[in-house]
Amino acid sequence: MRSGAHRVVVTGIGLITPVAVGTEENWSGLLDGRSGLGRITHFDPTEHVVQIAGEVTGFDPVEWVGGRKNARKMDRFIHFAMAATRLAFRDAGLEYPVADPERTGVIIGVGMGGLGTIEEAAEVLRTKGPKRLSPFMLPRLLANLAPGQVSIMIGSHGPNWCPVSACATGAHGVGEAARLISHGDLDVAVAGGSEATITPLGVGGFAAMKALSTRNDDPQGASRPFDRERDGFVAAEGSGVLILESESHARARGARILAEIVGYGQSADAYHITQPDPEGQGAQSAMRRALKNAGLDPADVDYVNAHGTSTPINDKTESLAIETLFGDHARELWISSTKSMTGHMLGAAGAVEAGICALAISRGAVPPTINQTTPDPDCRLDYVPNTAREGRVDVALSNSFGFGGTNVSLVLRRYPG
């Protein structure tokens, strides 16, 4: 990142998604084109218009947060953040309590906070009165308790905060953490996003906006980014955490370096509360700023992990933005939306997808966009349809665009060392 004196590298990745719990398990599942979407089991969805989602299965929070008593004090999004952090530490070869607490920070974003806790507390208030509310209600639901609990777990005393920017949240978490390292404020950052909004209120609210796919009879085929038959996104839960370090810190401890974060760009559409600018100006601006920050040209990019939500307007607009910014090189890009398999993890999505970009660089492969069956004349690029692709990726760009017109692009590059 050219804005600071210190290079920023990725040394660990922790992924928890509907596809799998665990980074290696997610990577193999994504390359296999495995969908993690299904009928909702967290609550009875019978009366809901939308009855499908991306739920994390096979996850027992007790195993990750220090026992059943601790688990009861936290909402599910905090469970995910702590588990993804533990996975990322393990992947990076780091231990906690951290060696230098003052030079270690935690920036984990959360898009919506503890909706499940809010719903439960509202029912207690309605049926039993205010005296029966739990003293842990607020610490369970506050978004910043994801990084707060992580900082307690690892013993870090550096910056500890929670970006909240809808679907761009996780990317903001990674970008801001990288900036802190780049400017010399930290040596190590735990960066990412987390979300757990598969609740009656969360699913019902997005359905009321007509934002979700209604393919209840075909959940694994419901998320189909850039396909002509797409009809909305599939809400999902999960967490992505990256361990970021200054290059000098990583090299001093002999760390394995997966990729380097070299660019971070942000913009605003200033157009509509939920819809993107139809000309893709905001998306173009975020990508252009990220590439300028990286000191790279559009022609240097090999792979784009698209925001690609599977909504009619978003996919058309993002595709147009990529075509416009990249020009002739747009036809050479490999582009995929892993939301076709994970669903849309909202505040966690950008961090998970940044991790996928680092893996694409380090492993030499790109996950597919599944459910690509009907070409859309408005989406004319190479979306790596249905089958993963092997090949060298030197530069990857990850897009995350959120309600309110907030846009983030991250650029990751192969580490030359």
pLDDT for residue 270 is more than 80: yes
CATH number of 265-413: 3.40.47.10
pLDDT in tens, 151-206: 999 999 999 999 999 999 999 999 999 999 999 999 999 999 999 999 999 999 99
**Looking at the chain, which residues constitute the CATH 3.40.47.10 domain(s)?**
8-252, 265-413
Residue 135 to residue 139: CA distance in whole angstroms: 8
Residues annotated as catalytic (active site), given as ranges: 167, 307, 344
Pick the CATH number of 8-252 from 3.40.47.10, 3.40.1670.10, 1.10.287.90, 3.30.530.20: 3.40.47.10
Condensed to tens digits (0 to 9), the pLDDT of residues 339-373 reads 999 999 999 999 999 999 999 999 999 999 999 99
Question: How far apart are the C-alpha atoms of 75 and 63, rounded to whole Å?
Answer: 15
Question: Using 50, 70 and 90 to split pLDDT, how confident is the model at 3?
Answer: low
Which contiguous run of DSSP H or E holds residue 309? none
Residue 124 · residue 83 · CB < 8 Å: no
- Mean pLDDT of all residues belonging to the chain: 97
Report the distance separating Cα 118 and Cα 83, nearest Å: 22
State the maximum Cα–Cα separation within the chain, in Å, rounded to a whole number.
65
Amino acid at 167: C
Handedness of CA 58, 63, 69, 70 (dihedral sign): negative
* In the block, residue with structure tokens 């998320």: 223
Instruction: Name the packing angle between helices 76-92 and 145-154 (round to 10°).
Output: 40
